[in-house]
Chain A
Amino acid sequence: MSVPDDLARAFPPDDPDTLRRLRARLAATAQAEGVLDVAYRTLDSPVGPLLLAATGRGLVRVAYLSEDHDAVLQALADRISPRVLRAPAPLDPAARQLDEYFDGARRAFDVPLDWQLAAGFRAAVLHRLADIGYGRTASYAAVAALAGNPRAVRAVGTACATNPLPVVVPCHRVVRSDGGMGGYLGGLDAKRTLLDLEARAAAEPASSPASSA
């Protein structure tokens, strides 16, 4: 046994409990001092773990696991700021509303959104999606018309496929005019799950007592 080996043991390189506490404190302090540019957390959901990320302006990204959360965080670092930390507190309202949505108890989201990852016609398309009511669907062509360019059906598909805020901005409600599901950035199973959830919840009277059934 050498002194350097003993040293390495006397000062172990990991102390998970302490580090967890220190990292949580760092996130809170960074937020309080306004130097946390992108906060994120994950949320378990019926469509798998979702990554939620926010800037000071609002929710900026929701990502499916299939989008590769590490790649999404790297893209946020590249496009917004590398000051990215796991920090649940700023995302508590969004997480709570998503939980309510997945329980069928919420039909619209009421959190500030940061649209900076969507631009141009894509942003125009995404802004129109909230017009498709909960539990309903619209065709890509109908959305193109709503966004002011009826011939831009393919562009609507692209806008949906690159929606930075899936679930919250309901691109899952856009389907093919022939009745087909179309694609979905979270996978077709996720799209079906969301549409089934909304159809089921929409079929029940919105806020009447359970005894009315």
Chain B
Amino acid sequence: MSKQPFEAVVAAHAGTVLRVCRALLGNAEAEDAWSETFLAALKAYPELPADANVEAWLVTIAHRKAVDVLRAAGRRATPLGQLPDAPAAPEPAGPDPDLIAAVARLPVKQRHAVAYHYLAGLPHAEVAAILGGTTAAARRAAADGIAALRRSYPDTRKGADR
């Protein structure tokens, strides 16, 4: 069983890891988290089993990097769970700055569960493996996150989804 050149891993998953990092940390911190994730992955890649789920592995590394960033930000000033860069910060706005801000206001666990399930496309069981806890808890965190977004975000949405 042979392992792909790492360049192919980057090509396949670079975009997913970046959108996950952006959802977890905001644009400014996301790029450093992306870089640290892929550098750590490159170092560990020769030891990764050839049949591993590469995307789940990368998201797991990104998760640890994001936790480190949030913890460091908490030590600096912001209470843990707040984003280091405030949603109102004048960073390049995405296609929907209101929803991005609403994601940033989610509790950390819900934000992670939403990002891993809805943006990385990982099944709840994989999300549970990353977050710790049961599959049911991961499913609930993702559902609670979506429900919270639905509550906080409906004013600015173009259409109602219910």
Which residues of A approach B to under 8 Å, CB–CB?
A: 1-4, 6-15, 18-19, 22-23, 25-26, 29-30, 33, 35-36, 38, 40, 73-74, 76-78, 81-86
B95 at the interface (CB under 8 A from A): yes
A14 CA to B119 CA, complexed, in Å: 12
Whether A23 lies near B10 (C-beta < 8 A) is yes
Interface residues of B in 1-27 (CB under 8 A from A): 2-8, 10, 14-16, 18-19, 22-23
If A6-B157, A10-B100 touch, whether A22 touches B35 (CB-CB below 8 Å) is yes
Query: Smallest CB-CB separation from A73: which chain B residue?
Result: B5
Whether B16 lies near A13 (C-beta < 8 A) is yes
Residues of B within 8 A of A14 (CB): 15
B118 at the interface (CB under 8 A from A): yes
B103 at the interface (CB under 8 A from A): yes
Residues of A within 8 A of B99 (CB): 6-7, 10
Whether B95 lies near A25 (C-beta < 8 A) is no
Query: Smallest CB-CB separation from A85: which chain B residue?
Result: B7
Residues of A within 8 A of B158 (CB): 1
If A7-B114, A74-B5, A77-B5 touch, whether A35 touches B42 (CB-CB below 8 Å) is yes
CB distance from A33 to the nearest CB of B (A): 7
Residues of B within 8 A of A74 (CB): 2, 4-5
A53 CA to B19 CA, complexed, in Å: 31
Interface residues of B in 99-154 (CB under 8 A from A): 99-100, 103, 114, 118-119, 146, 149-150, 153
B43 at the interface (CB under 8 A from A): yes
Whether B4 lies near A82 (C-beta < 8 A) is yes
CB distance from A86 to the nearest CB of B (A): 5
B94 at the interface (CB under 8 A from A): yes
Whether A15 lies near B15 (C-beta < 8 A) is yes
Cross-interface CB contact of B35 among A1, A25, A36, A82, cutoff 8 Å: A25
Residues of A within 8 A of B114 (CB): 7
A151 CA to B47 CA, complexed, in Å: 45
B31 at the interface (CB under 8 A from A): yes
How many B residues touch the partner, as a band? 35 or more
A78 CA to B42 CA, complexed, in Å: 15
Which residues of B approach A to under 8 Å, CB–CB?
A: 2-8, 10, 14-16, 18-19, 22-23, 31, 34-35, 38-39, 42-43, 45-46, 94-96, 99-100, 103, 114, 118-119, 146, 149-150, 153, 157-159, 161
Whether A85 lies near B10 (C-beta < 8 A) is yes
Cross-interface CB contact of B7 among A1, A2, A33, A84, cutoff 8 Å: A84
Whether B18 lies near A22 (C-beta < 8 A) is yes
Residues of B within 8 A of A1 (CB): 157-159, 161
A2 CA to B103 CA, complexed, in Å: 15
Residues of A within 8 A of B39 (CB): 26, 29-30, 33, 35
A87 CA to B58 CA, complexed, in Å: 21
Residues of B within 8 A of A23 (CB): 10, 14
Residues of A within 8 A of B15 (CB): 13-15, 19
Query: Smallest CB-CB separation from A35: which chain B residue?
Result: B43
Whether B18 lies near A15 (C-beta < 8 A) is yes
Residues of A within 8 A of B103 (CB): 7, 10
Cross-interface CB contact of A22 among B2, B6, B34, B119, cutoff 8 Å: B34
Cross-interface CB contact of B46 among A8, A15, A26, A81, cutoff 8 Å: A81
A35 CA to B5 CA, complexed, in Å: 14
A40 CA to B22 CA, complexed, in Å: 29
Whether B31 lies near A82 (C-beta < 8 A) is no
